Amino acid sequence: NGKKAKIKKGDFVSFGKSLKIASLALDKCFKRILRHIPTMKKLVKDSFLSRELQGKYLKLIGEMVGVLT
What's the pLDDT at 3? 56
For residue 49, CA distances in Å to 41, 45, 56, 58, 65 come to 13, 8, 10, 12, 21
Task: List the pLDDT tens digit at each of the 69 positions of the chain.
Answer: 555 667 889 999 999 999 999 999 999 999 999 999 999 999 999 999 999 999 999 999 998 898 888
What's the pLDDT at 23? 93
pTM of the model: 0.74
Q: Where are the alpha helices (DSSP H) in 1-69?
A: 9-18, 23-35, 37-45, 51-68
What's the pLDDT at 47? 95
